[in-house]
Amino acid sequence: EIIVIDFGSQYTQLIARRIREFNVYSEIIPCNAPFNEIKKRKPAGIILSGGPSSVYEDGAPTIDKEIFNLGIPILGICYGMQLITHLLGGKVSKAEKKEYGKAILRIEDFSDIFSDVSRETVVWMSHADKITEMPEGFIRLAHTENSPYAAMADKKKKIYALQFHPEVVHTEEGKKILNNFIFKVCGCSPSWNMHSFVEKQIEEIRKKVGSYKVVCALSGGVDSTVTAVLVHRAVGESLTCIFVDNGLLRAGERQKVEEMLRNNFHINLKVVDASERFLRRLKGVRDPERKRKIIGGEFIKIFEEEAKKIEGVKFLAQGTLYPDVIESISFKGPSATIKSHHNVGGLLKRMKLKLIEPLRELFKDEVRQLGQELGIPDEILYRHPFPGPGLAIRCVGEVTRERLEILRQADMIVLEEIKNSGWYKKVWQSFAVLLPIKTVGVMGDERTYEHVIAVRAVHSVDGMTADWVRLPYELLERISNRIINEVKGVNRVVYDITSKPPGTIEWE
Ligand code: XMP
């Protein structure tokens, strides 16, 4: 195992991920974690991440100097390098010029971490401070035009340090450098994979849970399903999943979830039919943020009511992924690690529950791999994201049973056609939106005055930015024809050609 100590760099998670790609387990620990924890785990190597601070700042994050005497190989990256220099008696100074972006690394020593790397290679820099004097015992391994010490090492103690970021793709031979550190310096063997991850998680969850009970909020999406199946493998009957049918789900969704969890995985599943309750609270509400608040608040209430009925419940399992915790994991303390739309912070306190988050080290694609390992069908693992407030924020204007039904039928047609044409896996999200206006049309010989459906399909990597998908006209035509012919109350279909920004993916 390789431990990555996080000093707050936006790239920390990438380091851990790269190492897992080499089939070596790697986990991130915030830099203020007790030093003993690191010692106890006896990792094969330690990586000190980058970070936004300067080592001379008041309150700059640091680490126990004892770390250099453990005999464990260490790699410092950027801030990690400056910290090594500072703690071991070298000199770090403000660079006259901030160095940001590509630089040419000129390597002088090709043993261990630079073995097989080109003499001159492109690296990615992002720093304001630089090393002007190495600590005693260190030799220089490489330099760039702006950094006289872009890489250095105390080979006897196996301490290595890089000013650039080997974990980002812009560092062209970064993978090779990390690979060299992991295998040549730390002597790891590539034995980790999703199978061993599952084994390890199961063991940890069992140990943590003991004879108590675990509750899990199931949405039917990738993350909560994988979490539920994994926790179930660990504790079996002690897990109860709660699925709240808020009446804002897509066609057939609830049945699919019930069938899969109960029949395929034999998981205790409690389905709460609360559509009546949600719709009552949403009556007359048009403001999108109010809709969200009401739905979020109601969800928590119902979940709490149900969770309280389970005797001996002490844990809440949640499918938080790394990108969800990225902002909060670092040394600022792991406080706000809850997805905002599942705002369960208050619930944890009130019910004195502890969190189990077995996916918190993983990225989405790793979760899919894990799901495959657990035997979860692709249909679930490759589902498009679906927002917590569900169809309510796609029903622009008031949410009523009738309007939801129109939207639900139109949405089903969009998804069916997108799937049948092979586009489902190629797009990030695709759905229908019901607009709050009526327009004039003519059907048969009659004038109609009915609803408009907007179709939206976007490409995205993380939902932060998005582009509209250039769907074939024939597919759009089929979607439009089917909606108008099959969904009563709709006489017009439009296609949304707005990217994000300036638009958002959802219409509300
Ligand atoms: P926007 O509309 O902000 O959406 O561009 C970005 C991504 O987030 C999803 N989304 C939500 N998910 N609760 C959620 O769980 C919400 O309130 C919410 N609003 C938007 C949206 O579907 C897209 O994937």
| Residues 179, 205 within the same domain | no
| Residues 218, 357 within the same domain | yes
pLDDT tens digits, residue range 68-102? 999 999 999 999 999 999 999 999 998 777 778 89
Look at residue 329 and tell me whether its pLDDT is greater than 60: no
Look at residue 340 and tell me whether its pLDDT is greater than 60: no
Positions marked catalytic: 78, 165, 167
Please give the distance, rounded to the nearest whole angstrom, from the Cα atom of residue 266 to the centre of ligand 1. 31
Torsion over CA: 365, 370, 5, 104 (sign): negative
The last residue of a domain, from among 185, 217, 232: 185
pTM equals 0.82
| Residues 322, 405 within the same domain | no
- Residues tagged in the binding site annotation for ATP: 219-225
Q: What percent of the chain has pLDDT over 90?
A: 83
| Residues 174, 219 within the same domain | no
| Residues 57, 165 within the same domain | yes
In a domain, 352, yes or no: yes
In a domain, 103, yes or no: yes
Ligand 1 pocket test: pick from 287, 320, 433, 506 the residue with the most ligand atoms within 8 Å of its Cβ: 506
In a domain, 150, yes or no: yes
Please give the distance, rounded to the nearest whole angstrom, from the Cα atom of residue 411 to the centre of ligand 1. 17
| Residues 205, 274 within the same domain | yes
pLDDT tens digits, residue range 150-180? 999 999 999 999 999 999 989 999 999 999 9
Question: Checking phi first, is residue 489 left (phi over 0); if not, alpha (psi -120 to 50) or beta?
Answer: left
| Residues 228, 131 within the same domain | no
CA 289 – CA 508 distance, rounded (Å): 8
Look at residue 292 and tell me whether its pLDDT is greater than 80: yes
β-pairing verdict for 45-48 and 2-6 = parallel
pLDDT tens digits, residue range 244-280? 999 999 999 999 999 999 999 999 999 999 999 999 9
| Residues 212, 106 within the same domain | no
Please give the distance, rounded to the nearest whole angstrom, from the Cα atom of residue 436 to the centre of ligand 1. 20
Closest CA to 351 of 319, 317, 316, 318: 316
Residue 349 pLDDT: 86
Residue 482 pLDDT: 98
ipTM rounded to 2 decimals: 0.98
| Residues 327, 367 within the same domain | yes
Contact 42, 71 (CB under 8 A): no
464: domain CATH number is: 3.30.300.10
pLDDT tens digits, residue range 115-154? 999 999 999 998 888 899 999 999 999 999 989 999 999 9
253: domain CATH number is: 3.40.50.620
505 CB within 6 A, ligand 1? yes
Q: Go through 47-56 and write b for each residue having 16 or more CB atoms within 10 A of its CB, e for each that does not.
A: bbbbbebebe
- Atom number of ligand 1 nearest to Cα 507: 2
- Atom number of ligand 1 nearest to Cα 385: 24
500 CB within 6 A, ligand 1? yes
- Atom number of ligand 1 nearest to Cα 460: 24
Contact 267, 232 (CB under 8 A): yes
Mean pLDDT of the chain: 92
The last residue of a domain, from among 338, 359, 381: 381
Residue 10 pLDDT: 83
pLDDT tens digits, residue range 210-227? 999 999 999 999 999 999
The last residue of a domain, from among 315, 348, 381: 381
Estimate to the nearest angstrom the gap between the alpha carbon of 471 and the chain centroid.
27
429 CB within 6 A, ligand 1? yes
pLDDT tens digits, residue range 366-405? 999 999 999 999 999 999 999 999 999 999 999 999 999 9
43 CB within 6 A, ligand 1? no
H or E element in which residue 335 lies: none
User: Band of the pLDDT at 343, cuts 50, 70, 90?
Assistant: low
Contact 132, 91 (CB under 8 A): yes
Q: What percent of the chain has pLDDT over 70?
A: 96
Helix, coil or strand: residue 464 = coil
| Residues 96, 19 within the same domain | yes
| Residues 42, 96 within the same domain | yes
12: domain CATH number is: 3.40.50.880
Look at residue 43 and tell me whether its pLDDT is greater than 70: yes
In a domain, 390, yes or no: no
In a domain, 298, yes or no: yes
| Residues 7, 109 within the same domain | yes
Residue 210 pLDDT: 97
Residue 339 pLDDT: 38
Closest CA to 247 of 383, 403, 384: 403
User: Band of the pLDDT at 336, cuts 50, 70, 90?
Assistant: very low
**Structural domain count of the chain:** 3
In a domain, 504, yes or no: no
In a domain, 239, yes or no: yes
Domain ranges, residue 442:
395-495
Q: Go through 271-305 and write b for each residue having 16 or more CB atoms within 10 A of its CB, e for each that does not.
A: bbebbebbbebbeebeeeeebbebbbebbbebbbe
- Residues tagged in the binding site annotation: 219-225
Contact 455, 481 (CB under 8 A): no
pLDDT tens digits, residue range 462-484? 788 899 999 999 999 999 999 99
Tokens of 49: 């991440």
Residue 247 pLDDT: 97
Look at residue 326 and tell me whether its pLDDT is greater than 70: no
In a domain, 142, yes or no: yes
